[in-house]
A and B are shown apart, each in its own frame.
Chain A
Amino acid sequence: MRRLAGALLVVVLVLAGCGGGGDDPPELTVSAAASLKQAFTQYGREFSAARARFSFAGSDELAAQIEQGVKPDVYAAANTKLPQQLYEKGLVEQPTAFAGNRLVLAVPAGSGIRGLGDLAAKGVTLAVGAADVPVGAYTRTVLDRLPAGQRGAILANVRTEEPDVAGITGKLIQGAVDAGFLYVSDVRATDGALEAIELPDALQPDVAYGVAVVKGARRPEEARAFIAGLLDGEGARALERAGFEPPPAQ
């Protein structure tokens, strides 16, 4: 028994020591919108100033955590409103817009749905973001630009209001719903499992991603370097590869 405990202890210590050593890069914690997962994970591997550790969730949940006293080093949201609100409360430094995205209608590959016109039909099921998470707010902006009758019929077909894009993607891939509103980068990340149907330009909302250093961050310098790379560097390239666009002009 004692020998077993000793062996276990050794295993734990070795695992804990993996990647350890004296001159290790510092650790940078990044709270980021779920839609940034693919781009940021890739950027994190190339980012050399620090070892980036990510927490991906709905932008609104992450903002609420910061309001409750959680202190990541960087906060990146799928809109500019949430970082701005945190800035006004003195919780983050001045935020910057670093990327844009396009809202699309997402359907499983091979679906018969070809556009917004097909969403109002009886029996069609939809997944949308909850009203407080950016993807849900953008979706409501699009729907608000439709005639009231069509908007009502589409809303009547909504079956679930998900807390982040991962929830919408999952429901779509599992076939639990026929269609959903996602970012074009989310659809690209599914490697062909989902198809993106473009929305008419007149309906398209301005999707801008905002990022800020959190006040009281343990690694403010590395946090600034991380953001600089998003604007012009490895981060910007990772975003472009994942299907993001430059931030819309303000």
Chain B
Amino acid sequence: MSGWFGALLVAALTVVLLFLILPIVAIFVDTQPQDLVASLGEEGALEALRLSLLCSAVAIAIIVAVGTPAAYLLATRRFRGRAAIVTLVELPLVLPPAVAGIGLLAALGPNGVLGGLIEDAGVQIVLTTAGVVLALTFVAAPFYIRQAQAGFEAVDRTWLDASRTLGAGEARTFLRVAIPAAGPGLVSGLALAWGRALGEFGATLMFAGSFRGITQTVPLAIYERFSTDFTSALALSAVLVAVSGALLLSVKLLSGSAWLGGAAR
């Protein structure tokens, strides 16, 4: 790392860090600790936080339960159309949230493709807490599945073969060998997906609406406060950053993997 090129790399990284960190630092610079506490005492703030945590936790549980075996299949089998399927699964990653919201409405809304079916079943999704969970699941799932797939692909195939040779079935091999071996990848995917779910705004607003205690998650509550009380919006933002950061950190500590880089080893 010497000479002008080395200096250029360092300068580039410095610019990146400053640009990415500055808005987050600014949130905390302008927020007094007492504002933070006061913002939680405000009407609707704790409700929003509770709703955000609940909905994102349920969404993550669904994503892990269904996404893990799906990612395992994609990682360990070769079949026609696999590349196309991988691309389809990753597509929501690049969708703007507004498009995700419109898409969910067009698919599951009362006038949507499956709307009649859902109505006949007597289920209400749009503008309900279940709708929030659905929107979060949709936008966050690819983050987990992508990482999980990379994690499974990095597992040494000879371990899986050995497990089967020793008489363990497919299912047992998956549960006892593949999952522990891909652990760090799964956990980092979970943390990313959870973070994305906690921050979801656009798809939630379009598909689930905004109503205190039912569908108004923290990002929606921040948006509502922005117009009337900037300080309180800032304080609630600080709370969300703290909660997301704490979640990320505790997930990593629990898994014993020191850093996200452990994913694709």
Contact of B227 among A63, A158, A170, A177 (CB under 8 A): A63
Closest to A160 in B: B209
* Chain A interface, >50% SS class: mixed
Interface pairs (26), CB distance under 8 Å: A60-B227, A60-B228, A63-B227, A64-B226, A130-B224, A132-B224, A132-B228, A159-B127, A160-B127, A160-B215, A161-B212, A161-B216, A163-B205, A163-B210, A163-B224, A167-B205, A167-B209, A174-B105, A174-B110, A174-B111, A174-B112, A175-B109, A175-B110, A175-B115, A176-B127, A177-B127
Closest to A130 in B: B224
**In the complex, chain B residues whose CB is within 8 Å of the CB of A64:** 226-228, 230
Q: How far is it, in angstroms, between the C-alpha of A137 and the C-alpha of B208 when the chains are bound? A: 22
Q: How far is it, in angstroms, between the C-alpha of A171 and the C-alpha of B223 when the chains are bound? A: 19
- The interface centre, meaning the residue of B110, B216, B227 with most chain A CB atoms within 10 A of its CB, is B227
Chain A: residues with Cβ within 8 Å of the partner, total of 25
Q: A167-B205, A174-B111 are in contact. List 7 more A-B contacts (CB 8 A).
A: A64-B226, A132-B227, A159-B209, A159-B211, A160-B215, A174-B109, A174-B126
- Shortest C-beta distance, A171 to chain B (Å), equals 7
Range of interface residues on B (Cβ < 8 Å): 20 to 34
Flag if A176 contacts B227 (CB, 8 Å): no
Residues of B with Cβ closer than 8 Å to A?
A: 105, 109-112, 115, 126-127, 205-206, 208-212, 214-216, 223-224, 226-228, 230
Flag if A125 contacts B230 (CB, 8 Å): no
Flag if A171 contacts B226 (CB, 8 Å): no
Closest to A133 in B: B227
CB interface residues, A 85-126, toward B, < 8 Å? 125
Q: How far is it, in angstroms, between the C-alpha of A127 and the C-alpha of B205 when the chains are bound? A: 12
**In the complex, chain B residues whose CB is within 8 Å of the CB of A171:** 127, 209
**In the complex, chain A residues whose CB is within 8 Å of the CB of B208:** 160
Flag if A161 contacts B230 (CB, 8 Å): no
Q: How far is it, in angstroms, between the C-alpha of A58 and the C-alpha of B225 when the chains are bound? A: 13
Q: Interface digits, A167-190 against B, CB 8 Å rule (1 contact, 0 not)?
A: 100110011110000000000000
**In the complex, chain A residues whose CB is within 8 Å of the CB of B230:** 64, 67-68
- Shortest C-beta distance, A38 to chain B (Å), equals 20
- The interface centre, meaning the residue of B109, B206, B211 with most chain A CB atoms within 10 A of its CB, is B211
Flag if B223 contacts A175 (CB, 8 Å): no
User: Is the C-beta of A198 less than 8 angstroms from some C-beta in chain B?
Assistant: no
Q: How far is it, in angstroms, between the C-alpha of A161 and the C-alpha of B150 when the chains are bound? A: 41
Q: How far is it, in angstroms, between the C-alpha of A129 and the C-alpha of B211 when the chains are bound? A: 11
Q: How far is it, in angstroms, between the C-alpha of A161 and the C-alpha of B48 when the chains are bound? A: 14
Q: How far is it, in angstroms, between the C-alpha of A163 and the C-alpha of B219 when the chains are bound? A: 13
**In the complex, chain B residues whose CB is within 8 Å of the CB of A67:** 230
Q: How far is it, in angstroms, between the C-alpha of A130 and the C-alpha of B206 when the chains are bound? A: 15
User: Is the C-beta of A222 less than 8 angstroms from some C-beta in chain B?
Assistant: no
**In the complex, chain B residues whose CB is within 8 Å of the CB of A68:** 230
- Shortest C-beta distance, A113 to chain B (Å), equals 15
User: Is the C-beta of A61 less than 8 angstroms from some C-beta in chain B?
Assistant: yes
Q: How far is it, in angstroms, between the C-alpha of A40 and the C-alpha of B109 when the chains are bound? A: 31
Q: How far is it, in angstroms, between the C-alpha of A167 and the C-alpha of B127 when the chains are bound? A: 12
3 smallest A-B Cβ distances: which pairs? A160-B209, A60-B227, A175-B110
Contact of A58 among B105, B209, B227 (CB under 8 A): B227
User: Is the C-beta of A73 less than 8 angstroms from some C-beta in chain B?
Assistant: no
Q: Given A125-B127, A159-B127, A171-B127, do A176 and B226 touch, yes or no (CB 8 Å)? A: no
Q: Interface digits, A26-65 against B, CB 8 Å rule (1 contact, 0 not)?
A: 0000000000000000000000000000000010110110
Flag if B209 contacts A127 (CB, 8 Å): yes
Flag if B126 contacts A176 (CB, 8 Å): yes
**In the complex, chain A residues whose CB is within 8 Å of the CB of B209:** 127, 159-162, 167, 171, 176
Flag if B110 contacts A176 (CB, 8 Å): yes
